[in-house]
Structure 1
Amino acid sequence: MMDSRQRGTALLVAGCFFMEMLDGTIVSTAAPQIAADLHTTPASVGLIITAYLVTLAVLIPLSGWLTARFGPRRVFLAAITVFTVASLACALAPDLPTLVGMRVLQGVGGAMMVPVGRLVVLARTAKPDLPRAVACIVWPGLAAPVAAPLLGGLITTYASWHWIFLLNVPLGALALLVARRLIEPGVQSAPPPLDTTGVLLTCTGLAALTWTAHLVSETHSSLAGTALPAAIAAVALAAAGRHLLRTPHPLINLRTLDVQSFRAAALDGSLYMAVVGAVPFLLPLLFQEVFGWGAVKSGAVVLFVFVGNIGIKPATTYLINRFGFRPLLIVSTLGLAATTAACALFTAATPVAVIAVVAALGGVARSAGLTGYSTIAFSELRPDRLRDANALFATGQQLAAGLGVAIAAAALRGGAALTDAPRSAYAVAFVVLGALCLVPTVGALRLRPGAGDAVRRVVAGQRGVTQAIVSDSRKSE
């Protein structure tokens, strides 16, 4: 069983995950107020969102090497400090260029907080306790994009946009104090030389891909303007993949994908995460632009997704132990596909209670599925491969969170091109996202029945007797 230090560390990382994800989404709600206060346009304010997401995408791959070079405790504490100080600087920014610069600095801290914190949890948690630890880490990150519309609406309605960033200051200070007590100094190793070619190719490709996603999500971007960064991303990432597979000490070790359970989590889990991130983006737009709801009512209804997340959380570890990862992921991916497609049926006349139930069921699928993917990812890896796998997994998840909005925006544009009715355009987008979620279902069906059993405590029979499965994870390598 997890001791108090392990539980505290998992909850600490969960809090950091919540801050990081919230800051990636909540700012969009305050864009009009920020634009008016800083004497610029709401479209220009989009830069503060993109600058943050690009910085995360570029620097997360470096988390593994920095952890090996300086030790997890030092990097984690520095990341929380940078994130907190940058949040205060964002609140005090007098103009847009300063705010964008401080958002980049905030992204520097955010890029290190969660990957390094999760690595600390993974390295110090016994495999049978991994589902419970990962469940603690995952759900706050799920809650952040869902809570952002309501929280942002309340802040901008009853306070000012500065409080979006000021809220991080006491939270970050508390996290720093707790981290100093909980995170013990690790053994500092001598890492191989930094893969500078991998850094240049990978970071260029990820930055270009994230910028492309931003342009796709913007309503006024041109095809020519989007094609150039998309081409740069494709060329750079293709070259990066070729380099990373050939160099002896790559920045991101793609060879960890030879483990089937990790490969499923890194690839299918990232696509699943993209759909998860797209739904909280589309629903408030549907409610406000088509149904005519206010920001607070819209955010309150979307919050039922969070109700589903919380409702299923105590049962996710039991479900993994009782049924295994393969059935859980099959049901979760199908559930998210069904509830996402069901949103296409919403109209202004649909009872709010019905919308709330569908949103809550979608939240159940989100929580169970992402907990499953985040746990099975590290279930069959040797300890010496955790750092490499964690960096790759974190990079995929961060990209997916950003790409989800771009996929939703592209689907919405496609729907608008097919029909003149705004509600029908949203219906097309939700159906496309639901169909996209079936791809991870196919991946889950291809998992072997015993995948991830190394971290399960199987519930035997009707009497609820439990026993730990003893498995040599090296057999899966």
Structure 2
Amino acid sequence: MKETLPPATPTPGSPPAGTAPVEPPPPLIALRPLLWLVAAGVFMQMLDSTIVNTALPSMARDLNQSPLKMQAVVVAYSLTVAMLIPASGWLADRFGTRRLFILAIAVFTLGSLACALAQTLPQLVASRVLQGVGGAMLLPIGRLAVLRAVPRKDFLAAMSFVTVPGLIGPLIGPTLGGWLAEVASWHWIFLINLPLGVLGTLAALRWMPDLRGPQMRFDAWGYVLLAFGMVAISLSLDSLSEQDARRGFMLVLLVFGLAGLVAYWLHAARAPRPLFSLALFKVPSFSIGLLGNLFSRMGSSGMPFLIPLMLQVALGYSPMNAGLMMIPAALAGMGSKRIVVPLVHRLGYRKVLVGNTILVGLAMASFAFISPEWPLWLHLIQFACFGAVNSLQFTAMNTLALRDLDGDLASSGNSLLSMTMMLAMSIGVAVAGSLLGVFGNEALHPLRDQALGAFRWTFVCVGLITMASAAIFAQLPPTRRIPPASVKRADAA
């Protein structure tokens, strides 16, 4: 016999009789498996963005290539990620976060296996493109799942938890890549992703929710114009060091890429639902933050490619020691994030970004003075100083770009900023490699002192490129100085 319960006594704030109670959002602790899953995806993506750099000379020797030619391995991955980020949100709404996240892990894992099996440079580059297809969806889809599943009051804590692995990846990536290349082979840089991919797929099948947003029409024509412009510009800059007939073709491709971006701008002004609304650029802080981000990173994004290459080719470091030299920069970068908020509160974005942009450029150019005779402690100080100002620059630029965006513009602006960052990384490595090719006469000289000369001039040039972006940040309005007491209250909040 079914037991019946007496009617419950209404309590203040309870829903009226006859209505279904509103189900409260799950507590943050119940969503912890999802956060761990997304954090693992962030770690895989960030680790793979940095682990390759210290192994490039080993790859070059095994594939019978000049170390200079290996820049395509980095450019292919970052450019693919930049190209697919704008489509990730629409794909998640169309197919669901669960299905797309699992597909992203599977494609990333298959791309990693293809990289390990590559026998030639074109095969390796093609495999990196496949790997980038998966990597492009891991971070945006994971962030979107957290945004839709986590209650608003817990969102900041959840995102802080998820982004911590993004800091750990660059910290251990260069050293791990150098160690694997030295004690085993560069193939293991990609093979270690296979067990991670299998575990990630099983975890996603269990814990990734199937969340979908409202179905919106995708701006396919705008996407084609934007993607073509990004790819054409990056590929043309990547080949400017060539001295044969292809150089003329690449200059034509550069013009077509610029025309593609202009065509997208005109298209977005007329389209009812463009890929990225031009209303974003009516927000001055976003416009300046985005453009400053692009041009500043065009210089600084080449440094993770140039430094390990210089240490091994010009200074004779082993792959593992070259990776260890990057740790002070990563640690100093993590430490400098703690002073960004009080510094901006005291001085304002304009003074901080103009001054720090110049410091970043000078720190980059200072690598032109590096010498094999330098003691180790001087190398460590130089790396730490560069890491500190470079990290401060990234944090301040990103915060400036997103601080005044609300509603739909916040999501669109975040996607556009993420795409711009990856595009700048691709262009930065392409520019650095092209400059190195120009100063090194297409291939690095066999004598270390001659190779070091090519690196020195390249560091000066990329430093000047970064310093030029200070003129963009100078367009910010001056900020009134905030009293120290107010800074303390703001930090406490």
So what's the TM-score if we normalise by structure 1?
Answer: 0.79
Higher deviation after alignment, 277-286 or 116-125: 116-125
Higher deviation after alignment, 49-58 or 94-103: 94-103
2:235 is paired with a residue whose SS is helix
Q: Which residue matches 1:157?
A: 182
Q: Which residue matches 2:215?
A: 190
Q: Partner amino acid for 2:460? A: V
**In the alignment, is the contact (CA less than 8 A) between 1:82 and 1:109 conserved in 2?**
yes
Cα distance per residue 1:62-97 (max 9 Å; x no partner): 123223433445433432332234324443567777
Q: Which residue matches 1:111?
A: 136
Q: Which residue matches 1:140?
A: 166
- Cα distance change of structure 1 residues 329 and 243 upon mapping to structure 2, 3 Å threshold: same
Show structure 2 runs of 5+ residues with no match.
1-26, 442-448
Q: Which residue matches 1:231?
A: 255
**In the alignment, is the contact (CA less than 8 A) between 1:134 and 1:374 conserved in 2?**
no
**In the alignment, is the contact (CA less than 8 A) between 1:5 and 1:182 conserved in 2?**
no
Q: Partner amino acid for 2:273? A: H
Pick aligned residue for 1:355 from 367, 379, 389: 379
**In the alignment, is the contact (CA less than 8 A) between 1:15 and 1:140 conserved in 2?**
no
Deviation at 1:301, TM superposition (A): 1.8
Percent of aligned pairs with the same amino acid = 33
Higher deviation after alignment, 94-103 or 63-72: 94-103
Cα distance per residue 1:376-432 (max 9 Å; x no partner): 332221222233222211221111111111222344355558xx9544443332222
**In the alignment, is the contact (CA less than 8 A) between 1:142 and 1:309 conserved in 2?**
no
Matches within 5 A, 1:74-223: 74-92=99-117, 101-120=126-145, 133=159, 137=163, 140=166, 144=170, 148-176=173-201, 184-192=209-217, 194-216=218-240, 222-223=246-247
Is 1:448 paired with 2:477? yes
Show structure 1 runs of 5+ residues with no match.
452-457, 470-477
Cα distance per residue 1:198-224 (max 9 Å; x no partner): 232222222222322332477989522
Matches within 5 A, 1:60-459: 60-92=85-117, 101-120=126-145, 133=159, 137=163, 140=166, 144=170, 148-176=173-201, 184-192=209-217, 194-216=218-240, 222-316=246-340, 319=343, 325-413=349-437, 415=439, 422-448=451-477
**In the alignment, is the contact (CA less than 8 A) between 1:28 and 1:46 conserved in 2?**
no
Q: Partner amino acid for 2:470? A: T
1:447 is paired with a residue whose SS is coil
Higher deviation after alignment, 165-174 or 459-468: 459-468
- Cα distance change of structure 1 residues 272 and 317 upon mapping to structure 2, 3 Å threshold: same
So what's the TM-score if we normalise by structure 2?
Answer: 0.77
1:437 is paired with a residue whose SS is helix
**In the alignment, is the contact (CA less than 8 A) between 1:31 and 1:45 conserved in 2?**
yes
Structure-1 separation of matches of 2:78 and 2:101: 19
Structure number with larger C-alpha Rg: 2
Cα distance per residue 1:121-150 (max 9 Å; x no partner): 567686998699479638836953x75543
Q: Partner amino acid for 1:105? A: L
Deviation at 1:284, TM superposition (A): 2.5
Q: Partner amino acid for 2:270? A: R
Structure-1 separation of matches of 2:158 and 2:391: 13
CA RMSD across the alignment: 4.1
- Cα distance change of structure 1 residues 361 and 199 upon mapping to structure 2, 3 Å threshold: same
Q: Which residue matches 2:10?
A: none
Structure-1 separation of matches of 2:310 and 2:334: 24
Deviation at 1:34, TM superposition (A): 5.3
**In the alignment, is the contact (CA less than 8 A) between 1:25 and 1:148 conserved in 2?**
yes
Deviation at 1:255, TM superposition (A): 3.0
Q: Partner amino acid for 2:384? A: A
Structure-1 separation of matches of 2:476 and 2:207: 36
1:81 is paired with a residue whose SS is helix
Structure-1 separation of matches of 2:479 and 2:28: 28
**In the alignment, is the contact (CA less than 8 A) between 2:359 and 2:389 conserved in 1?**
yes
Deviation at 1:197, TM superposition (A): 1.7
Structure-1 separation of matches of 2:467 and 2:370: 21
Structure-2 separation of matches of 1:24 and 1:397: 13
Structure-1 separation of matches of 2:140 and 2:49: 16
- Cα distance change of structure 1 residues 258 and 69 upon mapping to structure 2, 3 Å threshold: farther
Cα distance per residue 1:346-380 (max 9 Å; x no partner): 22222221121111111111222212222333222
Structure-2 separation of matches of 1:255 and 1:104: 32
- Cα distance change of structure 1 residues 205 and 463 upon mapping to structure 2, 3 Å threshold: closer
Structure-1 separation of matches of 2:92 and 2:236: 29
Structure-2 separation of matches of 1:75 and 1:235: 33
Deviation at 1:264, TM superposition (A): 2.3
Q: Partner amino acid for 2:84? A: L
**In the alignment, is the contact (CA less than 8 A) between 2:182 and 2:319 conserved in 1?**
no
